[in-house]
């Protein structure tokens, strides 16, 4: 086997010098020479699987047969190995449907080749370091831990593919920065504390080194023994040589795989996928999708179409660039009208059609204007966690314009956009839940306080007035006691709705302040206009008739107001004075408006 190591050393050196990068080739070439010399010094050893005598009887050395990677070698773990081993040196991108299976096959072949190299290295290690109980190579696992990638062992209690969390046990120490080796010769703890045995195997010695490539820890090589003080510094040198060789071999194999597979895709897709992940706004995602289509696809019109109600029948063109964009922008239609684009939503399939000059085939709806110049259409659904409620459409005046390559490019960006949309909508929903009152749907106390302080600053900057109105439903407890809390909840919803209808959307601010109390902030409003708005709200609520079974009833509202900066130049004082005015309104008979005096 020493000849093999000398051959590999020459191969590394030759490739390095021919490629002009001899420094990179020097380390693995030197490692091969060290292992070759080590093996010759060690002489011939009993071959794996051969019976040895010892102790009171005989025992058989067990070698895990090829492939050397059983339980840990699940398809999921093998797919994750590249990313874990490279530690971020390359970003995995691209999941095109047409290339997914080809990638799996190529990666499986790569992993098998790496497995073969690792197993050969372990066999050499066993010959050069006699007396070992288990020889193993560990690679990066999830959560910065390690898993046993391949092993040669005499034990029947080795945990196949054992996973060690970071810093777990003696071997876990090899994942710590600054630890260059583990060398223990008087282990007295139960072997299960090593975390790769299922029972006590009387392991007394252990040696191990990290796999270091480019200064990053990417695994470990270990050997243990049932004898005390079985290993020394020479053992560590041999482990280092193998770790260096296997580390560089795996690293450059994975890097070559990643570079080759993604070279043509990264330039166009990475930038837009990054933009998707950076944005939590649905509007921004639509803009980036539109820009991607216009930049990377050859067409004459680019459209983004969405359902106006999730899972509903109504849809509209939310964005359009290109021919007749002003006419197409905002065009509304029904998916049930059976235009071609509706199939992308209803069937969740890609539509790639070429059209004759006549007759006109509806793309969206029979009501659309006939655009005979468009001879090709490509529509791709955007899948989200809630199904398909958006589609990307490209049209061209050239017949049969869009190939399978165009389909794959647009499908890739559609999947990235779908993932980003799911995240953006979830984010928006969480934001809304955090800022809105769950019953009435208006903003809650906390959100009001945040926005109110900003409005105070704005009023200060532009020297504007600002009105705050505290509102409380009179005798609301009687409503709950007489008709029940469900009816009381309905009253609160209706009152919130009436207030919302009487203030300026997007300018004024309404919040549920607690219980049956609401607060309204009227921006850039003086006392006279605030009074008009408050009286309109009070009268509308008093006129509203509520029902509980056969019983009809009405409620009234008391309102207290304060004006910035007339009553105070401090936000918290304005709120306090509006609250005092509300208290005064209740004291003086309820169902009335009182301003702070």
Residues that are catalytic: 516
Across-strand partners of 394? 302, 378
- Of the CA atoms within 13 Å of residue 264, those in its CB half-sphere come to 5
440 phi and psi angles, rounded to 5 deg:
-90, -20
SS3 220: strand
Are residues 223 and 194 in contact, defined by beta-carbon separation less than 8 angstroms? no
- Which residues are CB-neighbours of 527 under 8 A, at least 6 positions away? 467, 561, 563, 566, 595
Return the C-alpha torsion angle 100, 104, 107, 113, nearest 10: -160
Element at 96 (helix H, strand E): none
Nearest of 135, 79, 129, 73 to residue 107 by alpha carbon: 79
Q: DSSP letter string over 97-114?
A: HHHHHHHHHHHHHHHHHH
Across-strand partners of 354? 376
Across-strand partners of 334? 314
Nearest of 247, 309, 298 to residue 86 by alpha carbon: 247
Report cis status (omega within 30 of 0) of the bond before 359.
yes
What sections of 279-333 are H helices per DSSP? 282-296, 325-328
Q: How far apart, in whole angstroms, are the C-alpha atoms of residue 541 and residue 39?
A: 94
505 phi and psi angles, rounded to 5 deg:
-65, 135
Helical packing angle, 75-86 and 97-128, nearest 10°: 80
Across-strand partners of 148? 138
SS3 71: coil
What sections of 130-197 are H helices per DSSP? 169-172
Tokens of 85: 């081993």
Instruction: Check residue 545 and report its DSSP letter.
Output: -
SS3 7: helix
Return the C-alpha torsion angle 117, 119, 121, 126, nearest 10: -170
Q: How far apart, in whole angstroms, are the C-alpha atoms of residue 354 and residue 141?
A: 49
User: What length is written for the chain?
Assistant: 597
What sections of 20-96 are H helices per DSSP? 22-42, 75-86
- Of the CA atoms within 13 Å of residue 248, those in its CB half-sphere come to 19
Query: Which residue carries 């102790």 as its tokens?
Result: 55
CA angle 410, 411, 413 (to 5 degrees): 65
Are residues 557 and 495 in contact, defined by beta-carbon separation less than 8 angstroms? yes
């Amino acid at each position: 086997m020493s000849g093999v190591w000398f051959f590999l050393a020459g191969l590394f050196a030759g490739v390095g010098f021919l490629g002009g990068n001899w420094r990179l080739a020097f380390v693995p070439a030197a490692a091969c020479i060290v292992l070759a010399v080590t093996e010759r010094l060690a002489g011939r050893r009993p071959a794996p699987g051969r019976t040895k005598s010892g102790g009171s009887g005989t025992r058989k050395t067990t070698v895990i047969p090829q492939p050397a990677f059983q339980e840990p070698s699940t398809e999921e773990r093998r797919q994750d190995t590249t990313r874990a081993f490279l530690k971020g040196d390359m970003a995995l991108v691209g999941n095109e449907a047409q290339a997914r299976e080809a990638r799996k096959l190529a990666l499986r072949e790569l992993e098998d080749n790496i497995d073969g190299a690792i197993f050969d290295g372990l066999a050499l290690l066993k010959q050069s370091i006699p007396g070992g109980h288990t020889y193993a190579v560990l690679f990066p696992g999830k959560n910065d831990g390690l898993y046993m990638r391949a092993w040669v062992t005499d034990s029947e209690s080795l945990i196949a593919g054992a996973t060690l969390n970071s810093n777990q046990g003696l071997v876990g120490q090899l994942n710590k920065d600054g630890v260059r080796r583990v060398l223990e010769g008087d282990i007295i703890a139960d072997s299960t504390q090593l975390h790769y045995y299922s029972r006590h195997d009387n392991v007394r010695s252990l040696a191990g080194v990290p796999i270091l490539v480019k200064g990053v820890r990417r695994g470990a090589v270990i050997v243990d023994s049932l004898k005390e003080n079985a290993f020394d510094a020479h053992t560590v040198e041999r482990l280092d040589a193998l770790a260096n060789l296997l580390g560089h071999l795996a690293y450059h194999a994975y890097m070559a795989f990643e570079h080759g597979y993604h070279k043509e895709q990264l330039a166009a897709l990475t930038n837009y996928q990054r933009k998707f992940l950076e944005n939590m706004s649905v509007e921004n995602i639509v803009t980036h999708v539109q820009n991607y289509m216009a930049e990377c696809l050859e067409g004459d019109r680019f459209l983004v179409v969405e359902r106006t109600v999730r899972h509903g029948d109504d849809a509209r063109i939310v964005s359009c660039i290109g021919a007749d964009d002003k006419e197409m922008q905002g065009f509304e239609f029904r998916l049930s009208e059976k235009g071609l684009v509706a199939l992308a939503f209803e069937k969740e399939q890609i539509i790639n059609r070429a059209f004759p000059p006549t007759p006109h085939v509806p793309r969206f709806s029979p009501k659309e204007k006939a655009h005979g110049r468009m001879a090709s259409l490509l529509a791709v659904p955007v899948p989200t966690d809630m199904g398909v409620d958006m589609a990307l459409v490209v049209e061209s005046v050239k017949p049969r314009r869009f190939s399978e390559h165009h389909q794959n490019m647009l499908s890739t960006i559609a999947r990235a956009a779908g993932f980003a949309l799911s995240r953006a909508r979830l984010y928006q929903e969480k934001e809304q839940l955090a800022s809105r009152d769950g019953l009435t749907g208006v903003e809650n106390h906390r959100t009001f306080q945040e926005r109110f302080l900003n409005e105070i600053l704005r009023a200060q900057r532009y020297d504007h007035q600002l009105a705050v109105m505290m509102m409380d439903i009179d005798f609301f407890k009687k409503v709950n006691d007489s008709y029940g809390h469900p009816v009381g909840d309905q009253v609160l919803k209706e009152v919130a709705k009436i207030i919302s209808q009487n203030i300026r959307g997007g300018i004024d601010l309404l919040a549920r302040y607690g219980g049956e109390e609401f607060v309204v902030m009227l921006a850039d409003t003086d006392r006279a206009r605030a009074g008009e708005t408050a009286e309109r709200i009070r009268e509308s609520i008093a006129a509203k008739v509520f029902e509980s079974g056969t019983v009809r009833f009405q409620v009234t509202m008391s309102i207290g107001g304060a004006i910035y900066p007339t009553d105070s130049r401090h936000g918290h004082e304005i709120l306090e004075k509006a609250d005092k005015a509300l208290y005064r309104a209740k004291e003086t008979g309820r169902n009335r408006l009182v301003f702070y005096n």
